Chains A and B, each alone.
Chain A
Amino acid sequence: MDPVALFTLQLLNALSLSALLFFIALGLTLIFGIMRVINFAHGAIYMLGAYVGVTTQTLTGSFALSLVLAPLAAALLGLAFERSALTRLYAREHSAFLLVTFGLALALTEAIRLAWGPDPRQAELPAALAGIVFVLDEPFPVYRLVLIGAGAAAALALWLLLHRTRLGLLMRAASQNAAMTAALGNDVAAVRAAVFALACGLAALGGALAAPLFTAYIGLGTSVIIDAFVIVMIGGMGSFVGTAVGSLLVGFAQTFGNFYFPELALGATYALMIAVLLLRPGGLFGREE
């Protein structure tokens, strides 16, 4: 195969992986930015999105509907969890938050195992998305291009939310000084709840988008949450731009690492993280606190 074509295909593969990672890392970083805590349940929410997506598609035959219902279900679950459990924990030690969200991750994983059984689930892509296109005379799955577009659209939508809406303004203000945001008449608790629901919805959308490629299986959440943590560390905790750049770096490191140095592939992501953190301990776009 022509090396230029080969490289181009790997580039597109890397971008599509970056797009999927972006959905989950973005939610983590939004939550961290405004609540200063890590949501350990985020991988399980992503996995839930994959299962709900597959089931929606199996029952209704509509892939588009699965991309609506999966994030909606996860956002509602996230909202209920934030309002009932997390809202009491913000004033406490961070370890309480970590333990409770870790507990949610375990409970959710078991609930999924009970509801869907231990076997992986997969749904077929609709015909329009299942085809291939030719990139530099080489075949390439259309769906991976769709993923790239979805990731770019999500990045744009989030940027617009953050910079063009009142909710976005309050998210940015509260991430810098929550007490002052409240003292100016804004209900920061409501902003937190909205952010948590939004972040869960994004993760589930990522899961539903990933399901046709990777199938939905128990453990999907665990494998992806680690990548998401790495992305957030590389980009800088709480930084939107950092998360976008981090997703790209990790997607590229994994794809190209796998292809050119398969025996070192597992280490590529961590080597990248260590290198970044040595040079900039707060991450590329983060502030040291």
Chain B
Amino acid sequence: MLALRGLAGGYRGARVLQGVTLDAPAGQVTAVIGRNGVGKTTTLRAVMGLLPGVEGEVTLAGERLTGRPPHLVARAGIGYVPEGRQVFPDLTVEENLRVGQRRPSRQWPPERLFALLPNLRERLRNLGRALSGGEQQMLAIARALVTDPRVLLLDEPSQGLAPMVVRELAAVLRRLAGEGVAVLLVEQNLRLTEAVADRILIMAKGQVVHEASAAAFAAEEEAVRHRWLTM
């Protein structure tokens, strides 16, 4: 569904991405792990069009997205759940959701959305800033879903969440993959990654250096951890 080919670029003076190539197929959770600073967040920002001057190619079901501004990337069918959730603090939950809805969502009308994320229903009138971390995370996911994405990008969604909420999150991501969404998950939390991912990719120094199915990853975890993940 989503394909990245040789994505390179970065910020002024720092070429963070050194040719990232990966695929996020429909109906699967693809997880990207790696140490801090290897370019995981930057990869997602590059896909979204939030990183100027990116080289390489991003395609969605064969349609080239590279070089498009963020709003056109989103309209092409990419939902973005950024690092730190970034809910609008001074908008209500309902307004946060409306920002993503240029028209009423076809795939995620309110009944379906609140069946998936029940906690949000009672919080509709509350401000984004008044939510707990877990609720903010679910809101950030809901807000991306109502844009009717074919691909969902998530940047460290488990950060700062209690273990029980992380389990809830895992269930939500599995459900989404079950609906046919291509989920691309960037994570540090191996527990979440192993619980939800179909494939696990490891990034180091701005490239994908290793790729394995979830089962294969579990078998080789010690070696992988030692080589690419320990500081």
Does chain A bind chain B? yes
Q: How far is the CA of A185 from the CA of B76 in the complex (A)?
A: 9
Tell me, yes or no, whether B74 is within 8 Å of chain A by CB: yes
Q: Which residues of A contact B75 (CB under 8 A)?
A: 185
Q: Which residues of B, 48-102, contact A by the 8 Å Cβ criterion?
A: 48, 50, 52, 69-71, 73-75, 80, 82, 86, 88-91, 95, 98-100, 102
- The one of A169, A185, A187 in contact with B147, judged by C-beta atoms closer than 8 angstroms, is A185
Q: How far is the CA of A187 from the CA of B71 in the complex (A)?
A: 6
Tell me, yes or no, whether A95 is within 8 Å of chain B by CB: no
- The one of B48, B89, B99 in contact with A169, judged by C-beta atoms closer than 8 angstroms, is B99
| Contact string against A for B residues 140-181, beta-carbon threshold 8 Å, 1 for contact and 0 otherwise | 000110010000000000000000000000000000000000
Q: How far is the CA of A182 from the CA of B88 in the complex (A)?
A: 13
Closest chain B residue, CB of each to CB of A179? B50
Q: How far is the CA of A181 from the CA of B87 in the complex (A)?
A: 10
The answer to whether residues A184 and B69 also contact, given A176-B88, A176-B91, A177-B86 and a CB cut-off of 8 A, is no
Q: How far is the CA of A179 from the CA of B70 in the complex (A)?
A: 8
Q: How far is the CA of A177 from the CA of B89 in the complex (A)?
A: 9
Q: How far is the CA of A221 from the CA of B48 in the complex (A)?
A: 42
Tell me, yes or no, whether A188 is within 8 Å of chain B by CB: yes
Closest chain A residue, CB of each to CB of B143? A184
- The one of A172, A173, A188 in contact with B71, judged by C-beta atoms closer than 8 angstroms, is A188
A184 and B100 form a contact (CB under 8 A): yes
| Contact string against B for A residues 76-107, beta-carbon threshold 8 Å, 1 for contact and 0 otherwise | 00000000000000010000000000000000
Tell me, yes or no, whether A186 is within 8 Å of chain B by CB: yes
Q: How far is the CA of A170 from the CA of B88 in the complex (A)?
A: 11
Q: How far is the CA of A179 from the CA of B102 in the complex (A)?
A: 16
Q: Which residues of B contact A176 (CB under 8 A)?
A: 88-91
Q: Which residues of B contact A183 (CB under 8 A)?
A: 48, 50, 70-71, 73-74, 80, 82
Tell me, yes or no, whether A161 is within 8 Å of chain B by CB: no
The answer to whether residues A180 and B88 also contact, given A169-B95, A173-B99, A187-B71 and a CB cut-off of 8 A, is yes
Q: Which residues of B contact A172 (CB under 8 A)?
A: 88, 90-91, 95
Q: Which residues of A contact B80 (CB under 8 A)?
A: 183-184
The answer to whether residues A185 and B100 also contact, given A176-B91, A180-B82, A180-B88 and a CB cut-off of 8 A, is yes
Q: Which residues of A contact B88 (CB under 8 A)?
A: 172-173, 176-177, 180
Nearest Cβ on chain A to B149's Cβ, whole angstroms:
9
Nearest Cβ on chain B to A135's Cβ, whole angstroms:
40
Q: How far is the CA of A166 from the CA of B101 in the complex (A)?
A: 10
| Contact string against A for B residues 178-191, beta-carbon threshold 8 Å, 1 for contact and 0 otherwise | 00000000000000
B90 and A182 form a contact (CB under 8 A): no
The answer to whether residues A185 and B86 also contact, given A173-B91, A173-B99, A176-B91 and a CB cut-off of 8 A, is no
Closest chain B residue, CB of each to CB of A163? B95
Q: How far is the CA of A183 from the CA of B73 in the complex (A)?
A: 8
Q: Which residues of B contact A166 (CB under 8 A)?
A: 98
Closest chain A residue, CB of each to CB of B98? A169
A185 and B91 form a contact (CB under 8 A): no
What are the 6 closest A-B residue pairs judged by CB atoms, nearest first?
A185-B74, A182-B70, A184-B100, A183-B80, A173-B99, A176-B88
Known contacts A183-B80, A183-B82, then 17 further A-B pairs from the complex at CB < 8 Å, ordered by chain A residue: A166-B98, A170-B99, A172-B95, A173-B95, A176-B89, A177-B86, A177-B88, A179-B50, A182-B74, A183-B73, A183-B74, A184-B71, A184-B147, A186-B99, A186-B102, A187-B71, A189-B69
Residues of chain B at the chain A interface (Cβ within 8 Å): 48, 50, 52, 69-71, 73-75, 80, 82, 86, 88-91, 95, 98-100, 102, 143-144, 147
Can you list 17 contacts pairing A with B, beta carbon distance less than 8 Å? A166-B98, A169-B98, A172-B95, A173-B91, A173-B95, A176-B90, A176-B91, A179-B50, A182-B69, A182-B74, A183-B50, A184-B74, A184-B100, A184-B143, A186-B71, A187-B71, A188-B71
